[in-house]
Amino acid sequence: MAHQSTSKRALPTGLAPEKLRPECDPKDLGFETTDALSHRQTFVGQDRAVDAIKLSATIAQKDFNLYVLGTVGTGRHTAVTRLLSKTASDRPTPCDWVYVNNFDAPHKPNAMKLPSGMASVLRSSMQGLVDDLANEIPALFESEEYQTQRRAIEAEFGQKHEEPIAAFAERVQDENVALMRTPMGFMLAALVDGKPIDPKAYEALSPEQKEEIDSKISRLQEELASVLKLGPQLEKDHRKQIEELHAAMAERVVSLRVGEVVARFAEITDIAAYLEEVRKDMISNAELFLISQMETNNGPFPEAIRKYHRDPHFDRYAVNIMVSHEDVKEAAAPVITEDLPSLAHLTGRIEHISEMGTLATNFTLIKPGALHRANGGYLVLDAHRVLTEPFAWDALKRCLQSQSITITSLAERLSLASTITLEPDPIPLDTRVVLIGDRRLHMLLTLLDPEFGELFKVQADFEDDLSRSAKNTRALAQVIASYAAKEGLYPLTAAAVAGLLDHAVRLANDAKKYSLQLGALTDVMREAHHYAGQKHRDLITVQDIKKAVQQADRRASRVKDRLQEATTRNTILIDTAGEAVGQLNGLSVIGMGTYSFGRPSRITATVRMGSGKLVDIEREVELGGPLHSKGVLILGSYLASHYALDVPMSLHASLVFEQSYGGVDGDSASSTELYALLSALSGVPIRQGIAVTGSVNQNGEVQAIGGVNEKIEGFFDLCKARRLTGEQGVLIPASNVDHLMLREDVVEAARQGKFRIMPVKSIDEGIEILTGHPVGKRSRSGTFPAGSINALVENRLRDFAEARRRFGADSENGGQKEERP
């Protein structure tokens, strides 16, 4: 229970206010508003990362792909886009790529490389070629020349087909047999008196007459079958003659029109070879143009509907553009950013259409992916998104390793589809891939994927902060001016820039550095612009900046306010006045997304005789993390190496975070726990108006911790809510002084002597401030001064050891007390 004590040493004055918040002086900036500043396009403090990006962008060797790592908001995407675009402008525009039909194996379309901008020209030329032939070939087949030759072929076929039958008919007539044509074919019938015999007359004949007629008819039918066998061969020859006529007629116009197209692309050998295959196929399939003519009189690609409809008969002559650079005004390599890097969006896909209840496809349904569009340039991807898309990461690596783009559908990879598919030619790949992610993901990829290091040899590590110097201050002010102009914001006054720079210091958690989280600073500027507009001002002032920071904190502080309310109502027990033995206020930081705040926690220690065991209750119930447990083990080592060195450690102590119902990790409370132990062992009460943070090593040195500003402010808010007494403050590691950038109200309270920030370097310094008693130093004789904290602790530990010895002796004597002289 807390109690008051007299004859205490007074609390130290604490740090001077200027040490608590080293602000930027607007007068040192050298301008009145950001309108007077030149805009800075370079990336302040990111020289190392910029050099890495430039190396990856310019080196010619393969596998020097880039992984950009750093904290969100440090300008990674902006830097990558700007630097790659600048490098890309100095590179030539890459070639176009198209897929065309493979007439020998239609399921394996051919990839064709074309000079930049020629893909659309070739497609238009092929459409024009088919359009022309769709009109000219039908007209050719309606010409008098074609009709004359066709009639001659038909007449020759008729003559060859009818002459054997006519001769056979005359011969059988001499034998009183007639050859008659019926819907079912030819039929032989016996003649009586020059007329075919009817069934009744046949039945009236004698058996001998019937047998004679039947024998004769059977013999002649065999002869008729031999004559009719010549028909299929004659028809085959007839069709061949017709096809040869069609080919001969079509060859003249097709060769003429194809020759015109060849002349347009005379310098491109691949096109000439392709057009020769087209010419042969068009001549062989001239009937396609006749079919099209019967369906429409406007050609297969009429201009009015060409963009919206296609004639499937002529897909075989289409040109499927995968990459075209016809719209590029100036020579430059492409810089492509893919926001959804799925397998299909990366490597392309093969679409299907429904035909008669089945799915079918052809090479015109091949669609390009981001790798196709970025070929010859740069592809920027979010690393996390690539890794979370099924098979995307594997496909990306495979393409980079083979230096070619192979299109594979997800359904095919999973063996879920049994439809007809294609095997397009792989397209050679020459692109630099840039992955943007965080440091942890980079580490995991390096450890778990051996291929990652081989393919991504360059890493661009973006700095999180920037040294606070006059040169960097000026440079960062220019960056702020550049962002304001880019975002269309009001100009900032010098005081507003100074306030924003102070906020950058706070974000860096280091008074000697600026945070390079430019995204967070830009958000503050945008909100301040809104508040300035509400006041009908055309300048952003420091009040607008402060309001934006305060409002952002207020929007995120609901949980903090509820915890503080619970503490002020004593639902959560925290003392901010009085004294108590073995009890102390520790400070922790609670993080919720991007917002964090400090929370005081009561830490208590109890001691008794034991076997040298230090119990961490948090660890025993599995609420303590490994770092917290490490800090507790260090406490045991500190006690064992500093006190009662000549007797066994006979302490049983327990430590706990009171009213802590979640996990506890980190060693920032280890010094607090040690102070509580020393108080419990010495019996000297600790001032409850002082909160403590800091870790400790085995030698008793207090070490730096993180979140020092939030921790101080968390305890200050509680003390302020209960009333500041002037006897309250926070003990921090001396090495954390350079990290202080406290709120203005905390600094003002310190200036008025109502709140103190006291740095310490060792446990001895800290326990002396907390108790108001001298700590005592071990003399040459090996003893501590009587009545000092250390003497009281050592005596207590010796008493425990003696009590343990007596207990052990009593046990050996069967419970009888040992006689002492």
b/e sequence 578-612, b meaning 16+ C-beta within 10 Å:
bbbbbbbbbbbbbeeeeebbbbbbbbbbebebbeb
Regarding whether 220 and 143 lie in a shared domain, the answer is yes
pLDDT at position 305 is 36
* Same-domain status, 628 and 755: yes
702 and 617, same domain (yes or no): yes
1 in a domain, yes or no?
A: no
Neighbour-count burial of 116, counting CB atoms closer than 10 A to its CB (0-12 exposed, 13-18 middle, 19+ buried):
middle
227 and 257 belong to one structural domain? yes
Q: How confident is the model at residue 632 (pLDDT cuts 50, 70, 90)?
A: confident
Query: Does residue 52 sit within a domain?
Result: yes
Structure confidence at residue 247 (pLDDT): 73
Q: Work out the percent of the chain whose per-residue pLDDT is above 90.
A: 52
Same domain, 611 and 721: yes
Judged against a pLDDT cut of 60, whether residue 1 lies above it is answered with no
* Residue 688, CA distances (Å) to 235, 430, 675, 729 in order: 114, 68, 12, 10
pLDDT at site 555: 93
Residue of 515, 588, 668, 670 with catalytic role: 668
CA dihedral 801, 803, 808, 810 (to 10 degrees): 160
Average pLDDT, stretch 15-43? 88
Report the SS3 class of residue 113: strand
Average pLDDT of span 498-525? 93
The pLDDT, as a whole number, for residue 230 is 61
The answer, yes or no, to whether residue 820 has pLDDT greater than 60, is no
Query: In angstroms, how far apart are the furthest CA atoms of the chain?
Result: 168
Segment 66-120, tens digit of pLDDT? 999 998 888 899 899 999 999 999 999 999 999 999 999 999 999 999 999 899 9
Q: Are both 482 and 548 inside the same structural domain?
A: yes
Q: Is residue 818 part of a domain?
A: no
Say yes or no: 165 and 252 in one domain.
yes
With tokens 């080592």, the residue in question is 637
SS3 761: coil
Whether residues 633 and 525 fall in one domain: no
Element (H, E) at 656: strand 651-657
Please tell me whether residues 634 and 773 are part of one structural domain: yes
Evaluate whether residue 114 is within a structural domain: no
pLDDT tens digit sequence for 289-342: 777 555 554 444 444 334 334 567 788 999 999 999 887 778 889 999 999 999
Q: Which of 262, 295, 328 is the last residue of a domain?
A: 295
User: 513, 546, 560, 711: which is the annotated catalytic residue?
Assistant: 711
pLDDT of residue 628: 58
Residue 420 domain-assigned (yes or no): yes
The residue ranges of DSSP E strands in 324-441, in sequence order, are 335-338, 349-350, 353-355, 358-360, 366-367, 378-382, 404-405, 427-428, 432-437
The band of 662, judged by pLDDT with boundaries at 50, 70 and 90, is low
Residue 4, pLDDT score: 41
Highest mean pLDDT among 42-56, 241-255, 663-677, 740-754: 740-754
In this prediction, residue 183 carries a pLDDT of: 66
Is 51 domain-assigned? yes
Same domain, 291 and 352: no
Q: What pLDDT sits at residue 369?
A: 95
Indicate the pLDDT class of residue 218, thresholds 50, 70 and 90.
confident
Domain boundary among 238, 261, 295: 295
* Residue 668 appears among annotated catalytic residues: yes
- Residue 497 covered by a domain: yes
Please say if the pLDDT value at position 690 is more than 50.
Answer: yes
Which residues partner with 597 through β-bridges? 590
Count of domains for the chain: 4
Averaged pLDDT, 51-73: 93
CATH of the domain at 46: 1.10.8.60
Which CATH number do you get for residue 101?
3.40.50.300
Domain, as residue range, for 541: 21-71+463-554
Q: Which of 275, 295, 315 is the last residue of a domain?
A: 295
Instruction: Tell whether 609 and 722 lie within a shared domain.
Output: yes
Whether 115 is in a domain gets the answer no
Please check the confidence at residue 17 and state whether its pLDDT lies above 60: yes
614-631 pLDDT, tens digit each: 776 666 666 656 765 676
pLDDT tens-place string over residues 229-288: 666 666 776 677 777 777 777 788 888 888 999 999 888 888 999 999 999 888 888 777
Whether 312 and 287 share a structural domain: no
| Choice among 565-569, 570-574, 645-649, 748-752 with the minimum mean pLDDT | 645-649
